[in-house]
Structure 1
């Protein structure tokens, strides 16, 4: 902390003070977090080991799963610790670090979802050139651009956030550190920071949304020209999972970030943030895989290989035991 700042630790008030509700919240979040990490790690592993999933779509899905794990891990484990121990304090450095990583992972997700929309556009509207356009080098460059653009956009607001002074209250009305509740308790003038947060949110939201809409306008126009109803159904099916995830992400963004002031009531913000940081990362792996035959088949193949491996290990272990007994 700088010399002019009095407060060096914050208190995260969480969602509720009711002990019974805290127990239920802990159980719910723990299960959701474990399912989220397990589901997304499974996708990452499948894309790594299965040769049939080496296309651009699955490369982006793998990166999206990594972001999901990182995003939910930036805030949920800390809140689980708080619920289990009753320790609600968090240091200044840990708090601003949490703000930084939450925003980096969340914003990068939006850019990656936009890239995934473009990937679906190329796959459906230009199928013959898909492998050429979406080659490995291009995919890596697009993912890198997502990260770089995010860092450039949040740099200025984050520097202003670091300059805030906290002289009186240190109670953050949230279960995780976030820019809006921090601005609420700051004794500095937060007008410029509020305007920058709103401006960045609107720019990111509109920029990505326009790209997504354009991609799907071309996709729908192309699909409707398909002569076969079966072809149209298959094409829409490949986009349905992505469209569901887009709806959840943009719907949450509207409620959390597109708002006129940080001085508003935080109750709805906390509820939506909880769903965004726990439920969405848990559901997204299932949304992407339940209707994807390639991923399901890759999962079955992996389970079969693991079963054979452990069976072989078991037989070898039994053979060694028999040799020892005979000796």
Structure 2
């Protein structure tokens, strides 16, 4: 994958799978799964872009060195097979975030994303923008995305306030991974966006609503195993076939509603992906607990009854 200068890089659109991090049974990162994982996404799910080391990838439970090793493996294995690999580099420490951003540039990632720090939290949009600027400045040739997920970070700064004059601070700014449910904030962002920005929605069960507001695509964990179906949703929406688009959206809502009644969390989601794909992803890392096998199998059975 090539790194393009700001302004001429390829716009990020469509489905982007937020990848799970494979672990061994002993809890160590398992690089051997990444090649088959990419083949599964491209060949079975028709998903050609990935967002690695994010929330789904348990990034905050990984060391900086582990994140570097994983990012490099994802980028190397994706060459010639995927359109874009976006590496999440956000950390609690500004210095760690900068180190990961520099590394992402060195390994020819297609872009970087940064989550807001969630221990010492930025209290205003200006403070948050300053943090993002400091990270982006060490990798100025990489497209930069702000990763908004207030339910996890507790940072409820409106994204539309973050976007004010953002390119004056971050010339490489290219968009937002918007994993929040505030569609008014999302709509105001889209309505004041620039043509080269991408707004990727991150609440999978509400994607259709976000598309109606102008989303350019989506980043989510469920696109690891419902990618084919949601590519059909995107195609139906683009054709104006809302009946078909709703039908697919409602299927995911039915699956997630069932899963949530059984206690759907990252550990369950990871095991569900393993059950559906056949990939050996290993357990999550503490404090996330592994999913009981019978629960994962029950949700996988529901998945197959809905999507196959």
Instruction: Give the TM-score, by structure 1 length.
Output: 0.26
Scaled by the length of structure 2, the TM-score of the pair is: 0.27
Which structure has the bigger radius of gyration?
1
Name which structure has the greater RCO, CA cutoff 8 Å, separation 6+: 1
Structure number with higher helix proportion:
1
Greater share of residues in strand = 2
